[in-house]
Amino acid sequence: MSTNGYFRIRLTTLIANKPLPFNVYILLDQKVILYIKEGDTISKEKIQSLHLKDSGESFLLALADKEKYQHYIRDLMNSDLLPNSEKATLLKESSIALLEDLFDNPDVKKALDESRPIISNLIDFINSAPNEMQNLITLSGHDFYTYNHSFDVSIYSLGLGQAIGLGKTELEELGLSSLYHDLGKRLVPLEILCKKGALDDNEWVQMRMHPQFGLKILNEHGNISDAIKAACYEHHESWTGGGYPQGISKQEIHPFARIVALTDTYDAMTTQRSYNTPMKPADALNLMNGNLAQRYDPDMLKAMYSVLFKMKKNAA
């Protein structure tokens, strides 16, 4: 999805009236053109007007400047220049930009390694500004199938992981596992992933293959943790059995997969995707706690409740 040699950023992740440490390019008629030269500044008004015009999605940085961009964002996050609510947006939009080009990367090991510091920054932020978690959720359905969904599942999972008392290293692993839980969808045909309306039986069979596909992809790369593999392979298992692909139950299911089972369903139910109308958060939770409850680890379900309650309270 990214233009070769470049990655997309949102202009709103740049701070106004401060010299930029990198060139910013724009995509015009399929051509990459220098837009702001390194060392130049951009005004707040210009950022806002351009952002409104095209959602800032055609602005690019050279991949070679990725580290400079990461430093730039880190400095802003550590500074007192922005209130926490704006930091949340900045972190969300820059993380999405950095992850976009990793998300379809055929070198999964590299994608996981490079995603780790992004997850780590998200954890630090959630720890330092717990009330801002809601602002990290993209709630956007504009992506093809998995991109924003995976990011949001990752944020909810980090919240849940924190609620059950996981430490930083475990949280990092959980964040990564959640981010790549639907990796196997790479091997599901796009016309099935993007189909508007219900899937037929045969299409469902293919869609339900994605946990196996995910494990297969992960197994092709060395040195990937069991937790990441389990979240990918077991996130459609059900607490009392009857899920897929293995039909395992309870403690047989990896704890991270039990977490993703919850956060995945919650996000799918509450976000507008191609195939559904979003449910209200309270309705989704009631359904998960009611008719669907046997699917989930009761302790995790309780923790999910507390996370969402906290988020809702802060959003109100």
182 lines the binding site for Fe ion (CB under 5 A): yes
Q: Which window, 13-21, 50-58, 100-108, 259-267, contacts Fe ion (CB under 5 A)?
A: 259-267
CB of 260 to Fe ion, least distance (A): 8
Q: Phi-psi category of 55—alpha, beta or left, where left has phi over 0 and alpha has psi -120 to 50?
A: left
CB of 263 to Fe ion, least distance (A): 9
Of the residues 264, 271, 295, 300, which one makes contact with Fe ion according to CB under 5 A: 264
CB of 64 to Fe ion, least distance (A): 33
Q: Which window, 78-86, 93-101, 155-163, 262-270, contacts Fe ion (CB under 5 A)?
A: 262-270
Contact 135, 88 (CB under 8 A): yes
Q: Per DSSP, what are the bridge partners of residue 59?
A: 9, 26
Which DSSP category does 120 fall into? H
Report how far apart, in Å, the C-alpha atoms of 28 and of each of 33, 99, 203, 235 are: 7, 23, 38, 41
- Closer to Fe ion by CB, 87 or 186: give it: 186
234 lines the binding site for Fe ion (CB under 5 A): no
Contact 72, 93 (CB under 8 A): no
143 lines the binding site for Fe ion (CB under 5 A): no
Q: What is the largest CA-CA distance in the chain?
A: 60
Q: Could you tell me how far CA 73 lies from the centroid of its own chain?
A: 18
Instruction: Write the CB contacts of 30 (distance below 8 Å, at least 6 apart in sequence).
Output: none
152 lines the binding site for Fe ion (CB under 5 A): no
Q: Which window, 100-108, 195-203, 258-266, 276-284, contacts Fe ion (CB under 5 A)?
A: 258-266
- Closer to Fe ion by CB, 143 or 264: give it: 264
Q: Which window, 18-26, 52-60, 69-77, 261-269, contacts Fe ion (CB under 5 A)?
A: 261-269
Residues near Fe ion, by CB under 5 A: 182, 264
